[in-house]
Structure 1
Amino acid sequence: MSNAISVLDRYQHYRARRFLKHEQTYANSLPSWRTQRRRRILVVGLALTFAVMAVISVLCAFGFRIAALAWIPATLIFLPLWVALQIVSGRQGDAPNATLDEFELAQRNNARSIGLAITQNLMLLPIFYLIIGSVSTDFGDGNIAYAGGLMTLTVLLIGGCTPAMILGWTRPDPDA
């Protein structure tokens, strides 16, 4: 058992070192986007991207497979928004414990808890869609699996991004 703890401790130390190295690398990136107002713009942009992804998955569920082509631009918009939010919020949503003070740790843990609850609750939508859709058809409809996959991916992205979005939205402007 002590060997397993040692391996976990070493991994956590590695994560903290890597996090601090990346934090130092990006500490001066996007300085004008570090205000609360600008972070909120990024959060709203991500939320709109997730709404588009959800609509695309529902359209695919109704047989509009051509709607899946809109997933590409949604992803191309999502990625820079997500990277920018991570940079300007200091990646506090997924920071290792050793790199945060008590207040930051409490905020991060609260945001993660909300993210987990959102993920668990929203995941029920694609689960029920897949269960009901698979028993009500002859299993020959590829739209069910494809749309269910898009729904699941959307929910996982929402849940995974929620902690950073909450912290980006709620944290005050950094000191000058």
Structure 2
Amino acid sequence: MPDATLIDRYQDFRTRRFLKHERTYSNALPGWRPQRRRRIIVAGLASTFVVMAVVSVLCAFGIDWAPLIWLPAAAAFFPLWLLLQIVSGRQGDAPDAALDEYELAQRNNARSIGLTVTQNLMLIPIFYLIFGSVMTRGTDTDMAYAGGLMALTVLLIGGCAPAMILGWTRPDPDA
């Protein structure tokens, strides 16, 4: 492709890498691939997000031990996220060339919902930080830490939302 742009070459590379990983992991964890089991993973991820959100609110109230609860939530998040990515075939972030029309439509719909969720939830830490900094004249360090945790939680939710939606809604894989 002599007329291929940098973006075209990157997309080709991304597609090749995705298909290579798909071949590697396509048969991994077969017991977790049915919809019922994927929904358990999605619920587990959602519960880690609830814990993270609660921790950020506790930090806003200045509770010193609250950040320690973040560690087990993060420790649970990472394996659950990796597990969901493997059993759902990473369809939430797959390149266009690796998907058929139906999968592409599903993925784009899930991404659209994920973006909407991110944009709307991000208003919570934004307003918290804006109004809180005005009220405290920027002297509350707990507020900055809590706002950062809130923003991180929202970004994790929004980033995981497409895979969680697809993991929840997709039917069982063919035998």
TM-score by length of structure 2 reads: 0.97
Whether the 8 Å contact between 1:108 and 1:163 is mirrored in structure 2 is yes
Shift of 1:65: 2.6
CA distance in 2: counterparts of 1:109 and 1:27, whole angstroms: 22
Match for residue 65 of structure 1?
64
Which stretch of structure 1 is more off in the superposition, 94-103 or 130-139?
A: 130-139
CA RMSD of aligned residues (A): 1.1
Shift of 1:8: 0.4
Structure 1 unaligned spans of 5+? none
SS at match of 1:66: coil
Match for residue 153 of structure 2?
154
CA distance in 2: counterparts of 1:138 and 1:105, whole angstroms: 48
CA distance in 2: counterparts of 1:138 and 1:132, whole angstroms: 10
Whether the 8 Å contact between 2:133 and 2:139 is mirrored in structure 1 is no
Whether the 8 Å contact between 1:130 and 1:145 is mirrored in structure 2 is yes
Counterpart of 1:78, as a letter, is F
Counterpart of 2:167, as a letter, is G
CA distance in 2: counterparts of 1:30 and 1:76, whole angstroms: 20
Q: Percent of aligned pairs with the same residue?
A: 73
Shift of 1:143: 0.4
Shift of 1:28: 1.4
- Alignment of 1:166 with 2:137, yes or no, is no
TM-score by length of structure 1 reads: 0.97
SS at match of 2:5: helix
The residue correspondences of 1:28-47 to structure 2 (distance < 5 A) are 28-47=27-46
CA distance in 2: counterparts of 1:139 and 1:102, whole angstroms: 50
